Structure 1
């Protein structure tokens, strides 16, 4: 992977977004309710690493810190300035929304992918190892899930309940674990027939030991590639929900919501078609670079893990 320039470009982009998310309180300092909840008496105290407010803001920022700063109540966008570096959209600071939205995207992506990975690994392992009726039932359930377009099913699930962080996670997990389970099942069916598994079984290894010690470690390469790719695509799905008005509450730091704010201002007044260029440019660049980074890393990981290329 280190010899592939495209992969290393993706790694650099991913690390850049990770640093932005980690250092969000320093790049876009807490204000208003966020500063109050962190117990910051003055704006400069957040930069002092010896104080607890610094580490709370970096490691466990309260929900109020994810509320985009409202620079003005005038819905007409304001161009970039010292007050709002990337301008405003619907009165909200675009720069603050992008910086804290990076943390939102990474946090949600990691949580959803981790849950999908655990569920998919367990279900796919059971399906591929025991086969028979167990495998048949699990595969038919997966076929039912695959019968519906993923995003459409997610939208339906979110619409049935009140949009919230928990609802979004539940919707993406309900539709996402199936692909992990099917990928792992295919590798488990192959690995369970290899000689070293038969040797372990002949020495008296239990089913649990066979699965956890011998089969799972040798069946994860294809799944790891899917995990890397999903870390880039799941946040895009979350942004799509917010763009449709089914995501986080209004004012929450979320890239999709910033694009939703920008819809009414994509085209400027007569004779000035690019008057409000900044309301779409900066959120779009953030989404594009984030997706590009994870896809480049995923492609590099797929090539590196493919035994046919080694």
Structure 2
């Protein structure tokens, strides 16, 4: 009688193993995290398919190569979806009357200062996502480099870096950002520069604290005893095991940075007038938040739709960030 050996079980891929880790399982069971993820996906889809939800017109079509009065083809919309020119972010202006008009079939959310609110919200989601990702990515890169150097080498290098961070933290973040933007001409580049100059410090300080703990662990001492150079110790052993708190902060900042951008636009220090930006829509609504006597909510739409967009966008990232912080916290055992 021939006995056949059982076939070996297929090994899971590294991605499958990572998805099956305890923190990821805990995160998938968190209803708040799933709710936040759904909100984020909804805004991401809105930003990606903005040319289909709010078709471009005017100067945007001209810059896309569409002749005046010509039809908007599917190819044109796909081109705007991939690489929209700056003119596409100019909110479609229905009229030059300052009086708001209520929602109607032609204007789903009405108009504010003559600008189409729906167009501003849809294309504004692109503005918020794009700037938020760029600012947070630059903060993460700069904070990771400086925080790694500060936490690993310590000594006078750590002292100089930490004193510089103390100087930055001595000023309220938004106030310092407003000052920096006001010193230069408000633009996308100026806004990004101001938020990066004021935002990298928190990333560097968080990472430094984690690196100070990780560098004293036994596996790092073993790698150092085997002759591993500093570069290998930092990027292969210390940094991958010190990023949990920092990545959680990244998710939270993706919700808070757009709030700061909206605040700058509301104060008149953001993009040019008419640019698709939720803060600018709130600025347009400032004079119409309170309706005429006897009709306090007559112009509710000029402030409700932009405020709801800002609230939901921030809420989605904060729900996901709070859940990620709890899931990856080693002190959480439930």
Q: How does 1:202-221 map to 2 (within 5 A)?
A: 202-221=225-244
* Distance (Å, rounded) in 1 between the aligned partners of 2:330 and 2:245: 11
* Distance (Å, rounded) in 2 between the aligned partners of 1:197 and 1:36: 59
* Distance (Å, rounded) in 2 between the aligned partners of 1:292 and 1:183: 23
The DSSP-based 3-state class of the residue aligned with 1:309 is: coil
* Distance (Å, rounded) in 2 between the aligned partners of 1:100 and 1:243: 17
* Distance (Å, rounded) in 2 between the aligned partners of 1:149 and 1:102: 27
* Distance (Å, rounded) in 2 between the aligned partners of 1:275 and 1:306: 48
- 1:43, CA displacement in angstroms? 4.1
Match of 2:247 among 224, 235, 240: 224
Query: 2:65 matched to 1:39?
Result: yes
* Preserved CA contact (<8 Å) 2:100 2:112: yes
Q: 1:105-162, CA deviations, whole angstroms, 9 ceiling, x for partnerless residues?
A: 0000000000000000000000000000000000000000000000000000001111
In structure 1, the residue matched to 2:283 is: 260
Query: 2:32 matched to 1:9?
Result: no
Q: How does 1:50-69 map to 2 (within 5 A)?
A: 51=75, 53-69=76-92
* Preserved CA contact (<8 Å) 2:55 2:77: no
Aligned alpha-carbon RMSD (Å): 0.9
* Preserved CA contact (<8 Å) 1:31 1:43: no
Structure 1: gaps (5+ residues): none
The DSSP-based 3-state class of the residue aligned with 1:21 is: helix
- 1:196, CA displacement in angstroms? 0.7
In structure 1, the residue matched to 2:158 is: 135
* Distance (Å, rounded) in 2 between the aligned partners of 1:85 and 1:292: 24
The DSSP-based 3-state class of the residue aligned with 1:247 is: coil
The DSSP-based 3-state class of the residue aligned with 1:83 is: coil
Query: 2:119 matched to 1:96?
Result: yes
In structure 2, the residue matched to 1:84 is: 107
* Preserved CA contact (<8 Å) 1:76 1:91: yes
In structure 2, the residue matched to 1:249 is: 272
* Distance (Å, rounded) in 2 between the aligned partners of 1:120 and 1:26: 38
In structure 1, the residue matched to 2:6 is: none
In structure 2, the residue matched to 1:161 is: 184
Structure 2: gaps (5+ residues): 1-26
Query: 2:220 matched to 1:194?
Result: no
In structure 2, the residue matched to 1:183 is: 206
- Displaced runs of 4 or more, over 6 A: none
* Preserved CA contact (<8 Å) 1:30 1:43: no
* Distance (Å, rounded) in 1 between the aligned partners of 2:270 and 2:328: 35
Larger radius of gyration: 2
